[in-house]
Chain A
Amino acid sequence: MSATESAPALAEGVETPTPPVRSSALLARSLRLWRTRIGAILTLILVLVALVGPLVAPHGSAEFIAKPFTSAAASNTVFGTDYLGYDVLSRFLYGGRSILVIAVISTAIGVVLGVVIGLVAAYARNALDDILMRAMDVIMAFPQIMLALVAVSLVGAKNWVIVVAIALTTAPRVARVARGAAQPVVERDFIGATEAMGMSRVRILFGELLPNILGPMMVEATLRLTYSIAVISALAFLGLAANPDAPNWGTMIQKNQGALAYQPAGALLPILAIALLTMGTGLIGDGIARTAAGIDRERGDE
């Protein structure tokens, strides 16, 4: 590869000036890739459905239409009725908001927490680093869904419990990536320079280190959002949503599953919605990852 061939041309001991890529620039460049565009369009559509859906739903979220699993024609609706006798289309339009809002909030908390822990661990380079990362290992020994399941059943299926459970299980996974990305940056000369200038530790961590790991952190954040959506909808699917009769894509799949053979829309619509939403965020994450890797390679070639 040309990257490895040109490497010796650089003077030894001289660091190549690699200013951090601005996150907006990274996003804009990643949108040149088709996969990112498709992912962004899918995500945008599903977010619109989840947020605007309740405003345009033809019926209320708890409005009895006809007896459960009545066909579309007999109930005079677009997709028939669900397990409660409510309008499937309206329930679908109402059912995305809670999943999306909880997923975004819990992922955001988890990512911020994870980045802070990862940066502190990478910068500490001492026993604190070991202690923090071993603690993260212990949390990671429990699968995310299992910890969320136990937490929800201990305290009850309340929205804040789900947010805390997802955030706490997201943080160690983010922390590991953040620490891995920050470690080589910590070793570079400019960090030593900032220390010599007497810059405060907080400013070094968030003003100097953080901008240098934004690329991998953006990839990690979209990946974690994808998993959070999966876990939150899976909890609802297992019957552990905050309100078991509220419209929720996960609950809809579970309750309408039995009627797949003759009234498929009740389960099929939310299945497709969750599938397309997670595909969308997954594609965006991969697009950003490829773009960041591409920028690194170009810099290697320079």
Chain B
Amino acid sequence: MKWLRGGGIAGFIIRRLLLGLVVLLLVSIIVFVSTQALGDPARAILGRDATPDRLAALQKQLNLDSSKVGQYFHWLGGLLSGDLGTSLASSQPVSEVLGDRIANSAVLVVLAAVVSVPLSIAIGSYAALRREKIFDTVSSNLMLVLAALPEFVVAVLLVILLSTNVFHWLPSISPVPPGTHAWDYPDELVMPVATLVIAVAPYVSRIMRASMIEVLESDYVEMARLKGLPERTVLIRHALPNAIGPVFQVIAINLAYLAGGVVVIESVFNYPGIGLALVDAVNAHDIPVVQALAMLIAAVYVVLNLLADVATILVTPRLRTRL
């Protein structure tokens, strides 16, 4: 938008923040409107043979007697003040129901990010250095094939390989019992995390390879080499920082994708995170939980994209001139 320029980096960050908030506001409207189709929550709680009196009382208690617009602002206000409402299935506050689930999923996503990002940057950079050599050919083709596989296919293939058929090293499901922490069961985390790593690594390593090849062919890298700098310094001080810029965008998109990808992977491993919670809530018509999870996943996407944009600007000085 042309009328939104200037202000340097700070102005850019503020503009992106405002844009992110607008997106989230629109997302909240979509979430609210679409979950209305799930039906009357009061009726869902009380069942078919509810008396009209009890139905009306509960509707009043859940604030369902006001207009739809009123309900939306009531819900949005609660959301902003940290009150996510009450789960219809368990009658507990949504934040309490989801607290452990969010922690469990966060463990998966963070572990997957910590493993996959350095791994795929290393693979991509090394493939770029050994361009058209055996490592590059093998890793590039492997990544191409892995990128195409649906994540539940990867998950079940890992189960076949490591748990049920070929080797019998790891448990095939990861049901972290309530009240305990995911990190207490490291052997149960291996396969879900490995699946997420395999889902993300191909994209990041491919863009890293492409970006690194471009940088290695640039004049300033040749200059650095001609100056007689050790190859190590050329690569780590000159090539890597320049090549990593475009990679942030891909990392952010993929981490946001992880937040959604856990839906399927948690179902494969029966892992009690937000993905399994979403599937359960959708089946139980538990509207407040579905709303909270949809907002959470969308917010993760918006925040990660924002961070990626800012990080890209920070590591790519020449982009700042266009602000």
Contact = CB atoms under 8 A, between A and B. Distances in A.
B26 interface: yes
A291 to B, nearest CB: 15
B37 interface: yes
A154 B34 contact: yes
Contacts of B38: 153-154
Given A154-B37, A274-B150, A238 B264 contact: yes
Contacts of B264: 145, 234, 237-238
Interface string B1-34: 1000000000000000001001110110010001
B150 A142 contact: no
Contact of A143 (B22, B159, B261): B261
A278 B294 contact: no
A267 interface: yes
Interface stretch (A48-56, A66-74, A207-215, A253-261): A253-261
Contacts of B282: 149-150, 153
Contacts of A286: 144
A7 to B, nearest CB: 14
B150 A282 contact: no
B157 A145 contact: no
Contacts of A229: 150
Contacts of B259: 143
Contact of B149 (A1, A253, A267, A278): A278
B283 A264 contact: no
B160 A275 contact: no
A283 B23 contact: no
A130 B3 CA distance: 12
Contact of B23 (A137, A226, A237): A137
Interface stretch (B44-52, B240-248, B295-303): B295-303
A80 to B, nearest CB: 15
B257 A143 contact: yes
A282 B261 contact: no
B106 interface: no
Q: Which of A145, A230, A275 has the most CB of B within 10 A?
A: A145
Give the interface centre of B22, B159, B160 by most chain A CB atoms within 10 Å: B160
A237 to B, nearest CB: 5
A238 B267 contact: yes
B1 A130 contact: yes
B26 to A, nearest CB: 5
Given A141-B298, A238-B279, A286-B144, A146 B263 contact: yes
Of the four ranges (under 10, 10 to 19, 20 to 34, 35 or more), the interface on chain A belongs to: 35 or more
A139 B14 CA distance: 23
B148 A279 contact: yes
Contact of B298 (A142, A237, A275, A281): A142
B198 to A, nearest CB: 12
Interface string A234-245: 100110000000
A271 B156 contact: yes
A134 interface: yes
B278 A149 contact: yes
A285 B172 CA distance: 33
B300 to A, nearest CB: 9
B144 A260 contact: no
A237 B152 CA distance: 8
Contact of B153 (A231, A260, A271): A271
Contact of B278 (A146, A253, A268): A146
B217 A1 contact: yes
B164 interface: yes
B297 A146 contact: yes
Given A153-B282, A264-B165, A230 B261 contact: no
A166 B19 CA distance: 26
B145 interface: yes
Contacts of B257: 143
A155 interface: yes
Given A264-B164, A271-B153, 6 more contacts: A142-B298, A154-B37, A230-B149, A234-B150, A282-B147, A283-B144
21 contacts: A1-B217, A130-B1, A138-B30, A141-B27, A142-B294, A143-B261, A143-B263, A146-B297, A150-B34, A150-B294, A154-B38, A237-B264, A253-B153, A260-B159, A274-B150, A279-B145, A281-B148, A282-B145, A282-B148, A283-B144, A286-B144
Interface of B: 1, 19, 22-24, 26-27, 30, 34-35, 37-38, 141, 144-145, 147-153, 156-157, 159-160, 164-165, 172, 217, 256-257, 259-261, 263-264, 267-268, 278-279, 282-283, 290, 294, 297-298, 301-302
Nearest first, the 6 closest Cβ-Cβ pairs linking A and B are A143-B260, A282-B148, A230-B150, A153-B282, A141-B298, A260-B164
